[in-house]
Amino acid sequence: MHKNHKKRRRSVRLQRSVLSAALCALLLTSCAPASRAPQPTTAAPYEEETGADYEQLTENSLKEQQRFADLEESLFQDEISASRLDLHFLLKNPEGRGITKTDALIAPISMEAFLQTRNDQEELRKELSGFQTALLTDDQKLTLRILESLMNTEKKGEGLELYSQPLAPTIGTQAQLPMLLCEYAFYTRQDVEDYLNILEYLDTFYGQILSFEQEKADAGLMMSDTSIDHVMESCKSYLLVPGNNFMIDSFKERLNALPDLTDDAKKELCARNEAALEEHFVPAYKLLIDGLEKLKGTGTNEKGMCGYPDGKAYYQYLVYTATGTSYHSIDELMTATEQEISDNLQITSKLLSEHPELESMLDNYQYRQTEPTAIMEELKEQTLKDFPQLPECSYTLKDVPKALELSLSPAFYLTSPIDDSSQNVIYINRNPIYDNQPLYNTIAHEGYPGHLYQTVWFHTHCDSDLRKILSFSGYTEGWAAYVEALSYRLDNGLDPLLGELLEANSKATLGIHAYLDMAVNYLGWERKDVQKYLSSYFSDPESIADSMFETMVDNPANYLSYFIGSLEIRNMRETAELQLGDSFNTTKFHTFLLDMGNAPFDVIQAYFTTWLMNQKMGN
């Protein structure tokens, strides 16, 4: 039974998004349940200690472990009950965790809320420093290190709250929220009521965002007119046609699956939904469009993030937030990225020179499976070779509504609730602009052995509720990008040499995007610099230079989650393969990463060193 925490509710924002789109005997695997009574530490006492000394040590350890368990439970309760929207996606049965109410329908976006979060983070930082680490269990030590790393990263953004970007063309709040509303599951009649309340609150919430954008404009930190146009274009996708649209269709589908509702009740709820869409949802997007139009001309920075007064410092914060990297500086990251691009282009050059027939294959190749479900099932079978077997789970593959294809990513996975890993949804964007991204590899990224596989594994192998809601995009997107690259070389119907060529090309291309992300937002590259750089890799750089530049400006540090995260994993794998030689076991390596779970790489690296030592010793 959960305790009632009487202290003021904190909101340190440990989990960042419900869209996707965490020691063994010697510090390796498994998570101990934070909400259960902790066990004594397993360290043997020194020989010179008396029985009384040992009893005192054990008693002190138990007290410290219980104190940390109480903090974990408090943080979990505070974080997950901050908003009704987050709670619903993270927990199917909140009452089972003792949660009956939330602070808000949607987590607020305002300077007041950001500053309160900073105060709460400082309070947590002090609380974490007060624990005697040696007395905690191994799992608690890991959680403590993760929280400390997170707080150190958040410290980098202190005083830079106005640089936050809630609006962005494809990854902004205005683009993602409607898809969350479409997937808001109806388990009970109360869920329908909550959904309608959120829908009716949307114009108020977007008014909040506009007020924040006005503060940014007043401080000289507004986005450029070009970026405003991109966001406004995204908003226009949600000016729904009354009476027949994806928000109405999805509502009816969920309602029909809800038992014990009379036809009259369904009609009444459908009418309320349509009224909320007409009176609140569409007006909310009109409000954003009109408000942003009025803010045009206030943003004078046409460069990347470093073009703002403290933009370079904020970008550094974004980089470490997005990657959790073990690299010590952005300069180091840029050097490593250049090397990775070069290495993979050398592979492509070597393959094409030794096997010239591959060039003709590039124009016309096909995977054995081309339909989403068939691809998922084949990948599910393929993972048994180099990955631990996942517990049985279900999934649903859906197409992005046509009206939203230009506003959303090529594909995305919606994280399943932590108390029900059977609910897994993957959306696929069928717009022709994404035809150059093979569906096989996209589903590997989102499904098996990517986001779905990774999420279900951790949810079913870790008992710490707090660990399950911690979010580090460098780890999650890095894993997905890493396995996506591996999928080119699976038994998928491609010529093995062609798969190797496509894999190297994919890594190099992602690396180029990541390098430009840092060059535009950290070094201050302009359009002409981007075009000059691309001319080294593409025959027609003029056709893509502007869109590449604008993408980096609109979404600073976004590509780094994918590229730097996957680079960190490949670095560890290469180190393990080099040091272990023939005794390297791919499945054991993947199991280590999966068991570690969502964590920053500066923490994972220390545990990897221990894991590698254990592997050398044959443990």
8 Å CB contact between 566 and 441: no
Residue count of the chain: 619
Among 309, 324, 347, identify where a domain stops. 309
Judgement on whether residues 348 and 268 belong to the same structural domain of the protein:
no
End-to-end CA distance of the chain: 38
Residue 403 DSSP label: G
* Co-location of 348 and 264 in the same domain: no
Q: Is 74 in contact with 7 (CB distance < 8 Å)?
A: yes
Give the span between the Cα atoms of 7 and 254, in whole angstroms. Answer: 38
Residue type, 613: M
Same domain, 168 and 299: yes
Side-chain-side CA neighbours of 540 within 13 Å: the count stands at: 2
Dihedral sign computed on CA atoms, order 271, 254, 289, 311: positive
- Are 213 and 172 in a shared domain? yes
- Angle 140-146-151 (CA atoms, 0-180°, nearest 5)? 125
Q: Which residue has the tokens 């609910």?
A: 423
Neighbour-count burial of 486, counting CB atoms closer than 10 A to its CB (0-12 exposed, 13-18 middle, 19+ buried): buried
Contact 102, 87 (CB under 8 A): yes
pLDDT of residue 543: 92
Closest CA to 322 of 521, 30, 523: 521
Residues 339 and 236 placed together within one structural domain of the fold: no
Distance between CA 309 and CA 521 in Å, rounded? 13
Note whether 76 and 33 are within 8 A (CB).
no
CA atoms within 13 A on the CB side of 299: 27
Number of helical H runs and strand E runs in the chain = 24, 3
Q: Which amino acid is at 220?
A: G
Instruction: Round to whole Å and give the CA distance between 296 and 521.
Output: 21
Largest CA distance in the chain: 80
Q: Does 535 map to a domain?
A: yes
Measure the CA–CA gap between 48 and 472, rounded to whole angstroms.
Answer: 44
User: Residue 328: inside a domain, yes or no?
Assistant: yes
Question: What H or E segment, with its residue span, contains residue 333?
Answer: helix 330-354
Side-chain half-sphere CA neighbours of 18 within 13 A: 26
- Are both 258 and 344 inside the same structural domain? no
Amino acid at 179: M
Residue 418 CB contacts under 8 Å (≥ 6 apart), including other chains: 90, 91, 459, 465, 468, 469
Rounded to an integer, what distance in angstroms lies between the CA atom of residue 190 and that of residue 57? 50
- Nearest-5° angle of CA 294, CA 297, CA 303? 130
Give the C-alpha separation, 379 to 451, whole Å: 13
Strands, E, within 366-436: which ranges?
A: 396-399, 411-414, 425-428
> Do residue 201 and residue 305 come from a single domain?
yes
Looking at the domain assignment, is residue 285 inside a domain? yes
Q: Is residue 555 part of a domain?
A: yes
Mean pLDDT by 10 residues, the chain (619 residues): 41 48 25 33 40 72 96 95 95 92 95 95 96 96 97 96 94 93 94 97 98 98 97 93 86 92 95 97 98 97 97 98 97 98 98 96 93 96 95 91 84 92 92 88 97 96 94 97 97 97 98 98 98 94 95 97 98 98 97 97 97 90
Q: Are 212 and 355 within one domain? A: no
CA 35, 36, 42 angle in degrees (round to 5)?
120
> DSSP code of 418?
T
Q: Give 373: exposed, middle or buried? Use CB within 10 Å, 0-12, 13-18, 19+.
A: exposed
Same domain, 258 and 272: yes
Asked if 269 and 248 touch (Cβ cutoff 8 Å), the reply is no
> What pLDDT score was predicted for residue 16?
44
Q: Are residues 179 and 305 in the same domain?
A: yes
In a domain, 383, yes or no: no
| Strand pairing category for 396-399 and 425-428 | parallel
Residue at which a domain ends, from 294, 309, 324 = 309
Q: How far apart are CA 619 and CA 609, in angstroms?
A: 14
- Which domain, by its residues, includes 211? 163-309
Is 54 within the bounds of a domain? Answer: no
Residue 463: its pLDDT value, please? 85
Does residue 288 lie within any of the structural domains?
yes
Whole-number Å distance between alpha carbons of 291 and 223: 13
> What is the C-alpha to C-alpha distance for residues 176 and 168, in angstroms, rounded to an integer?
10
H-state helical runs in 424-472: 439-446, 451-461, 465-469
In this structure, the dihedral spanned by the alpha carbons of residues 464, 395, 371 and 256, taken in order and rounded to 10 degrees, is: -150
| 340 and 283 within one domain | no
Q: What does the alpha-carbon distance between residue 607 and residue 617 come to, in Å, rounded to a whole number? A: 15
pLDDT at position 53, please? 64
Question: Nearest 5 degrees, angle CA 419-CA 424-CA 430?
Answer: 160
Residues 343 and 298 in one domain: no
3 state SS of 72: helix
pLDDT score recorded for residue 23 = 21
* Alpha-carbon span 504 to 397, nearest angstrom: 28
Q: How many domains does the chain have?
A: 2
pTM of the model: 0.90
CB half-sphere exposure, 292, CA atoms < 13 A: 26
In a domain, 392, yes or no: no
pLDDT given for residue 54 in this prediction: 62
